[in-house]
């Protein structure tokens, strides 16, 4: 069976190497932050965003406990504000939409009004040949609508600059799925 989480990491590893710059746009408990931190290593840089202070505390504890390189900046702000904090081109970015896993407040979720601007911002931040992964959780109404809105937006982009793909298990419509967004090596930084 296809392991979508492993597949997301596979695509990230095709674009991200030691010394790279990455962003975890929805840090949650820090699992993606840890993966990105280890991938870019001591010479790389990772920025991670979440609106909940509990996510920052949980992530910091997780990174320290797991011995992550001290190459990360944890930011308590919405992911749609990324360009206020990240001014350099990024090689990779990850979104895990929805709510804070593991007992988090399920009434606090990512929302279309900030998610789409965050995805647009992330694409502008991508370096040529950079990649974004956007994991969508359609099991709740906002998640379903987020996915639809992101897909509509990605479908409108120039195929000469951005190559968006969708990975979904077809016979399980409520299961998570993800978008893979790759920027052409010919597209410039700041370009969508």
pLDDT tens digits along 67-83: 999 999 999 999 999 99
Place of tokens 């190559």: 163
The candidate with the shortest Cα–Cα distance to 180, out of 190, 171, 170, 167, is 167
Going along the chain from its start, the domains and CATH numbers come out as 4-183 (3.40.50.150)
Indicate the average pLDDT of the chain. 89
110-156 pLDDT, tens per residue?
Answer: 666 788 999 999 999 999 999 999 999 877 777 688 889 999 999 99
Most confident of 55-69, 108-122, 168-182: 55-69
Q: Can you give the pLDDT at residue 109? A: 62
**Which pairing describes strands 45-50 and 72-76: parallel, antiparallel, or unpaired?**
parallel
Instruction: Give the residue among 2, 3, 17, 15 at the shortest CA–CA distance from 133.
Output: 15
**Residue 172: per-residue pLDDT:** 82
In this predicted structure, which of 20-24, 139-143, 146-150, 183-187 has the lowest mean pLDDT?
A: 139-143
The confidence score (pLDDT) of residue 145 equals 82
- 92 close to 47: Cβ distance less than 8 angstroms: no
Asked if 76 and 51 count as a contact pair (C-beta separation under 8 A), the reply is: yes
For residue 26, pLDDT beyond 80: yes
Residue-level pLDDT at 176:
87
Q: How far apart are CA 67 and CA 93, in angstroms?
A: 21
User: Which of 1-10, 17-26, 106-115 is modeled with the greatest confidence?
Assistant: 17-26
Angle at the Cα of 33 from the Cα atoms of 31 and 37, rounded to 5 degrees? 120
């Amino acid at each position: 069976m296809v392991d979508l989480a492993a597949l997301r990491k596979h695509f990230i590893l095709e674009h991200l190497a030691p010394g790279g710059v990455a962003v975890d746009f929805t840090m949650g408990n820090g699992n993606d932050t840890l993966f990105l931190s280890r991938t870019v290593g001591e010479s790389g840089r990772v920025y991670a965003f979440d609106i909940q202070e509990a996510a920052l505390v949980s992530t910091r504890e997780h990174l320290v406990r797991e011995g992550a390189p001290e190459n990360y900046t944890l930011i308590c702000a919405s992911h749609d504000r990324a360009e206020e904090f990240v001014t350099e081109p990024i090689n990779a970015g990850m979104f895990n939409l929805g709510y804070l896993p593991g007992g988090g407040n399920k009434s606090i979720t990512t929302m279309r009004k900030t998610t789409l601007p965050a995805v647009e911002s992330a694409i502008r931040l991508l370096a040529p040949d950079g990649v974004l992964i956007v994991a969508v959780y359609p099991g709740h109404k906002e998640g379903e609508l987020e996915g639809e809105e992101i897909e509509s937006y990605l479908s409108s982009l120039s195929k000469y600059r951005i190559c968006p793909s969708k990975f979904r298990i077809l016979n399980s419509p409520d299961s998570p799925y993800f978008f893979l967004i790759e920027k052409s090596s010919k597209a410039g930084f700041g370009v969508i």
